[in-house]
Structure 1
């Protein structure tokens, strides 16, 4: 029988966290012990969400796939990165072109046309109302990626007429606080993935994700009790999916891949670039900062102003070559991150952070390393200490029997 694959992204699950708290992850860690466990999967540059997801899907660096931040420069302004901005074929593209049945169940950076079933991420459907990611989104892009696509009508027979239960806006405003809505969304996504895998027409590739593990660390802190709770919930959801596969007799049909897009690190101080350099055209990417510069003199001025706060200019090699001269990259010192001014009447140049844990730290620092496991059909028992970011996508392709010409990295499985 042809191998099938379920790939689950657990947002913000760091290698450090798993090493320190593996007792809270009996299902995820148990899968790793039975299959291939990667202790440290290196982070994309920068170590933020959309670059991480794009690397996981393409096996390429941002310089090649084009998504060098949660926001990228477009017509002189930083705009949210969307699936259309990924310049290389994703694992969903490769699978669909090879004739495989692909389901996107709330996974980010997937094009609807690369799937047979498409459910957009919860953070695009209003569960995380007010998210920074929603600012300046072109209406046509937002509308296209908020639509559930189920041309073959496979969801309703499974009792999933709407995988979100209700319209998220109604659920968020009337019934529950946003943090609870986020957990409901995670539960619904894993439930939907399990239902599809156990259906009469199980997809060859299911891509899904659990998001609240990241949000809770941002807002309550790395290693906080709320963060522990969120990560335990994620582990329980994955355990539920595995148990359902086992009960239905499908456990030997599927390989399971679990990984994160980045890690997390404690933040004590926020740096406000707009207060340091008035009129700066920039985008805060956690502890990484991108600044649009018109010329070398402007770059030098920004660098000198930020240096007073311990900020270091970094190489822009992760930016596509044709854009590198126009974008300067900076990294914050330890325990610092970059944030927008909470109030433009405030003149302080540093202050209390809105996010007390974040990512996108100095490239190479271990805080952004991620945990990664492969288990199930076709996966050998193996322990790997360190792996490169590009190897995750290469491993997904290997498990599905696909060739990815743009990713020469060695597979981990």
Structure 2
């Protein structure tokens, strides 16, 4: 798929690029994986061709525009990946003079989908604006990006200035221009792909702030003042830069529309108690997967054992809190690209794309063990039925229900499969 995506960019075929991305989604890739395994390597290849004068700057900008469009089209999937929650504030900006922001935009999409409050400042951010934004919004983490080597000194100068703030954010950096000498001189993590950014941000928020981001040896090579001038556009001139800026604005318009639609979707498709998807959302996703990937997807029917006794013995407030905790544990145990919903009452359901019944049973067992480990007062166990999807949703549901019934009949707190004999 990565090769086909690169060929689509090289030929300027936006429809073909979108088709490859959609294929990846159907195969269970999450948005971060599509960024890291399709868009980023393809654009690195395009950049190398441009540097070798194999393609023109116009062709490079067209590939960038197509990539922005693909990223915007899959952005709604990032929003739908998990229940809404606030995990911290992250600010992302390109160094002054830096106009290449595709990688930064991809990171912003993944972070927003994971529940972070993301402030995307975009390209060519002057230092004064960056410092003001940090003072006003007080981000937990600031990410700075640079893809042109001639803008590296500017980024280092900006890092030193940010570190002098009264309440400086934790820092991460990224971009193709950061070679080993620069990386070794920075006391900040370097993010290489969208797949890494969630781990890096979580680690930075949990760790104490590092004041000296730039090593003194590296700082000594950079002027104390800002460079007198920076390159504002590529050598190809203003036309191509204007084209790229227009494509970025169009992509951001698509994202804003997706955010608005997502907000409305929360009212119709989310369970008010647990934050998981509801039965209506499950029915839509179930039908979609059954039609597209029958035989390559697994369904889990998950039931909380003896929930009525817990609810009656400890009270409805404890029962509700327990359901929320079960939902959270299920979501944390599932893999990127999996789907979880509250089916009703004390019953949950999960859909696992690109997963055999054997693999689905292994995921179900991990969920069962995770809930038993996390919820001990009162103790909570799960019974789970596993069934492979077929093109007939009714037959799939019946198979999963029968498997769940067998798990209950066998003593609860276990996993049973639809393919097992009665």
TM interval, shorter chain, is under 0.3
Give the alignment's TM-score, normalised by structure 1. Answer: 0.26
Bigger RCO (CA 8 Å, 6+ sep) = 1
Larger radius of gyration: 2
Which is richer in helix? 2
Which is richer in strand? 1
